[in-house]
Structure 1
């Protein structure tokens, strides 16, 4: 395995680092001001002007759709994209969306690119690739343990030339954004009481336009008190006898579970790439604070416990980065299925690593670390939440252990 970055990756990384330094970091306080000004108005969930300005600049610099391989995107491999996604993680509220590389649109665009028909791609993929609209992914449900996707209860029933969708979803990231014009909805399309149908062939995914009668965005959910406005939020969405054309079905009935697995592989590694960037920024802030602050007669940087935290953070970040790069390399060389073990491993290890590094950085900052004056509190919430998103730690450990046991059976 050669993890040396090739010429294209180095060139894009240099361009992206400059974009972050000259445009993104200075825009962070501007974003806060614009979000605060929109609170309580009809613009609360609309994109702040600073985001659109950054998107325009990123496109001019050729930093657009870097996540997507093939004809629809920049044509980068996972190994090439990894260090770029890491850099965007240093400003997770601005950089990913500025590059049109933000979840859940990335996963939805991958689904449409791989499984969508030509008509579906023209109607929804092209405007998503162009950044004119956004999307939401509706899978998790409040009434069942959605970590087991076979529990999904939302019904998708054929009725002539239409499908009828009935159910309730939550943690539908992006759905609060009024520009989220298309929802990808997962539900049961087979009779749940028919024992002849494999439990992994009962689910389907279907495209539901936001303005379809019967679709109701109920509320925004908060994560540790944050509602993530205006970044699309995490909505509870009701589907009440929603009718869409049969042509809105993705790939075919019974393919929902397979599509979900295909979607979540890249999504998980993208999250882990960005988490490394988040940890790097937290470590940078921790070191700066340690050099500036004096306690008990000497700088924090000379306190043994702080030095230990900094050293441990550097080791943990480097270990996580190597595991993510190995995973990216395997996905490029043997495919997502061949990298299944490593994908699960990074999903277990990297959020925990980032959570610990950010937590130590908060400690070094004292009260400032949990305030709005530093990004650390939001970084911690993001890392902690990702231990649930795209599958909880326990599910990944269970599956990973099962594979290890099978090797020695």
Structure 2
């Protein structure tokens, strides 16, 4: 007779097999959510959302990409994870209010969703996106991020007792546990907010702690379409979707590109009327579910992504409470946490923008235009930065044959 393993042995083997993917999935969700939700709130509020609308946007984003992760990871049996567009949120924070206010911003979010969906349906759109020079796209992102990344250090002068503990925590964790530096600094910030509420008797309405979706009827304006939707789409594709594919490829997985674009496009469209700006392939947090932390068995790492989808849905339940706490924060604290969360992205963007010597002048022009906050003809700096960079690049390239002659 064939031998039968004791139940205890089978149970232990199962735990050893499923434990790492489950743990990695939970960590992926915790790090992904806590490391950048402050950036999302700052971006939504900058383009006109009130507290309830910003809370709804955070909830809509978490729900849509949580469900999207469950679908894509189950169908593909690969550790495909999604996220909100953190660089896109930073772009919103830099762009500020557009003509038409919050409804026009929601209309821009719908346009972004439609463009992402069309990228999945029409392959040539992906090829068009690939024609945008990487150096210029990264320089535009770096320029957009610069004002936000300056916020922690500006706030140190105006509110040192509130900001210094957050910055100090971030620095210490960057040395000993970089992955947890932003989540830990967020926890310190929440502690500071709690002390602030208790010492100043700030009233927190109980009904504001419950998650709720707020519908906004979209409006469509040319300024929002050109100055917000187009740069948001480009930043999301260049800084999230394309790096997301590269991260998965580095671990031996081929991203299901078309299904991913269809799911994120439909998800962005579904979440837009409730305040969600864009969802996309995860880039930074993708490695947590696809790497060695998710287990040695390459074929089972999709479980980590699947678990992260469930964990994100659970985090959605506390999103309103986090927004309410942040709303009671001392001035500058939210911006400081958001700036710290984006410092790594800023460094990476600047490095990529200046990596090729021939691209440095156009990249610098793009960076400075984006950081300047220039607004012309009702269109924000991100669009003019990219347009100006491309124009300068073309002019400098067209001079090369003459110089050689």
TM-score range, shorter chain: under 0.3
Could you tell me the TM-score, scaled by structure 2's length? 0.24
Using CA pairs below 8 Å that are at least 6 residues apart, which structure has the higher relative contact order?
Answer: 2
Greater share of strand residues, 1 or 2? 1
